[in-house]
Amino acid sequence: MRLFRLAQAAWQAESLYLRRTSRGYAVQAGYGAGAAVFGLLLLLMLHIAAFAALVPGFGPVWAALIVALGDLVLAGILGLLARNPPRDPVAEEALRIRQAATSQLSDGAMRAAMLAPLLKSQTAKKGLFGAAITAAVVGLMSRR
């Protein structure tokens, strides 16, 4: 019964971890999409207004270069905001619970595998011998 509870805890922790991390990625993607839309629409209007305001004082070439420098600064700020993923402590705890549960689950399964030949055997000698061989095989497999 303990193995089933551990498997259920591992499954629930994995599910929670995936939900929370996917939520974080969705928020991050939303920031990136918002930055892209904001960048396109705002920069279009700013280009027109800035270019029109700068042409009389600087000429068309310098006005275009000044507007492009402003674009570079805005793109850098928005890129930095979209680059950093959010830290979710609930998702991190769910990952730790899943790892602990799967570790205990594999330990319990190994113990059950070692005891299974002993319970199936007709005689104690055969059962102990089978348990020893199973323990050796499981031990070798777990080292890989």
Instruction: Give 52-105 pLDDT, tens digit per residue.
Output: 998 999 998 988 898 888 889 988 998 988 887 778 888 888 888 888 877 776
Q: If you ran DSSP here, which 8-state letter would residue 1 be given?
A: -
What pLDDT does residue 100 have?
A: 83
In a domain, 91, yes or no: yes
User: 54 near 62, Cβ under 8 Å?
Assistant: yes
The whole domain housing 18 covers 2-103
In a domain, 66, yes or no: yes
Q: Is the dihedral of CA 46, 48, 49, 55 positive or negative?
A: positive
Q: Is the dihedral of CA 55, 56, 62, 66 positive or negative?
A: negative
What pLDDT does residue 123 have?
A: 52
In a domain, 78, yes or no: yes
The pTM (predicted TM-score) of the whole model is: 0.36
Question: Is residue 123 classed as helix, strand or coil in its secondary structure?
Answer: coil
Comparing 84 with 138, the larger pLDDT belongs to 84
In a domain, 115, yes or no: no
Can you tell me the distance from the alpha carbon of 35 to that of 28, in angstroms, rounded to the nearest whole number?
11
